[in-house]
Amino acid sequence: MSDLDSILQPIADAIKKGKKVTFFNGAGISTSAGIPDFRSPESGLYANLAKLNLPFAEAVFDLDFFMENPQPFYTLASELYPGSFAPTKFHQMIKLLQDQNSLSRVYTQNIDTLERLAGVEDKYIVEAHGSFATNHCVQCHSEMDTETLKKDMKENRIPSCRSCEGYVKPDIVFFGEGLPKSFFKTWSKDSKHVEIAIVAGTSLTVQPFAFLPSEVGKKALRILINKEKVGDFKHHPRKSDIIVLNDCDLIAEKLCGLLGIEDKLNELYEKGKSKYSKPETKEELVHDIEEKLKSEANLKQKEPSEEQEETTPKKEDKEEEELTDLVDKLKI
């Protein structure tokens, strides 16, 4: 048994005995999906915002700054908008724990919705810092539907309110705004009943979220999975704390191994990844094109009727679009 296995064994044992896990997630659980975290010294977002010309890095998520100049936020949002990132092994582990009835709740600071994409049900998720799912005008608070917002973004327009022309912002919690009521309501019910607290991929610097691990009952088993010691685990460690300074995905693999669900984890992960995968090599691109040609050969056997031809887009246009997509996908 490896060192990591023996460190993680008490968590696996507790889960096998029927104890449930409450997660406290941060950006570090999504870095392997290609989404940078915020505070890692070189790769974090705040270290790479020079191009946005900000007075200070966190201004990009500052409400007062947004009201003056929403452009930096929308530049960043167009890169980070959910839809092109696949859940990581860590997200898939949460889904597997849900499936075997070992999940109590997922408190997440992340706005990438990857827990949802992995299939974790709404009733388990508390998005403490909001999400891109809904949008409101910062002046008159009218709602804007996501399709309209995305259309404005795609056409390089700052989404603005159709009623008062104020700027529209996705309901991500900015500095200067309160957390959703549901966060406080759910935590007041949960805090005393946490059995296993897994705190992962967070610097525990943003309040009130950063306080949560210190508020779980003394009987709870607390685990930190992070690249460095943070928050309460650093300043007020408990005797029973388990601190694993390692990669979130690796720990997900190890823990699932101890629970006997590693194969399921790999299966879910590969399945999730294939939905978003881009060809990495020429061979993969050629394979994609061959597949496309095969499916076209099948289609040719069923020529459309005249009526259909009028309503469907021209075949050559579609072909060109699809080939452009494939070429866009090639990133070597």
Binding region for ligand OAD (CB under 6 A): 26-28, 31-32, 37-40, 44, 61, 109, 129, 172-173, 201-203, 205-206, 226-228, 230, 247-248
In the complex, which residue's CB is closest to ligand OAD? 28
Cβ atoms of 81 and 132 within 8 Å: the answer is yes
150 is annotated as contributing to ligand binding: no
At how many degrees (to 10) do helices 262-276 and 248-259 cross?
140
The catalytically annotated residue of 129, 141, 236, 287 is 129
**Cα(134)–Cα(64) distance, rounded to whole angstroms?**
20
Q: Closest separation between CB of residue 251 and ligand OAD, Å? A: 8
Cβ atoms of 263 and 316 within 8 Å: the answer is no
Q: CA 227, 228, 233, 237 torsion: positive or negative?
A: positive
248 is annotated as contributing to ligand binding: yes
Would you say 242 or 289 has its CB closer to ligand OAD? 242
Reported as type and span, the H/E element at residue 251 is helix 248-259
Would you say 138 or 326 has its CB closer to ligand OAD? 138
Q: Closest separation between CB of residue 62 and ligand OAD, Å? A: 10
3 is annotated as contributing to ligand binding: no
Reported as type and span, the H/E element at residue 136 is strand 130-137
Would you say 208 or 304 has its CB closer to ligand OAD? 208
Q: Which amino acid is at 225?
A: I
3-class SS at 291?
helix
228 is annotated as contributing to ligand binding: yes
The CA R_g of the chain, rounded to the nearest whole Å, is: 23
Please state whether 320 falls in left (phi above 0), alpha (psi between -120 and 50) or beta.
Answer: alpha
Q: Closest separation between CB of residue 118 and ligand OAD, Å? A: 16
202 is annotated as contributing to ligand binding: yes
Would you say 178 or 313 has its CB closer to ligand OAD? 178
Q: Beta-carbon neighbour count of residue 307 at 10 Å?
A: 8
Q: Closest separation between CB of residue 162 and ligand OAD, Å? A: 26
What Cα–Cα distance (Å) separates residue 291 from each residue in 77, 276, 297, 332?
33, 17, 10, 20
Task: Label the pairing between strands 168-172 and 130-137.
Answer: antiparallel
Would you say 38 or 81 has its CB closer to ligand OAD? 38
Q: Is residue 129 flagged as an active site residue?
A: yes
256 is annotated as contributing to ligand binding: no
Q: Beta-carbon neighbour count of residue 241 at 10 Å?
A: 17
The residue among 163, 157, 181, 162 whose CA lies nearest residue 171 is: 181
137 is annotated as contributing to ligand binding: yes
Would you say 209 or 285 has its CB closer to ligand OAD? 209
Q: Closest separation between CB of residue 248 and ligand OAD, Å? A: 4
Token couple for 46: 């705040």
226 is annotated as contributing to ligand binding: yes
- In the block, tokens 């999504």 appear at 30
Q: Give the largest Cα separation in the chain, rounded.
A: 76
**Cα(146)–Cα(143) distance, rounded to whole angstroms?**
9
Q: Closest separation between CB of residue 279 and ligand OAD, Å? A: 25
Active-site positions? 129
Binding residues for NAD(+): 27-31, 37-39, 109-112, 202-203, 226-228, 248
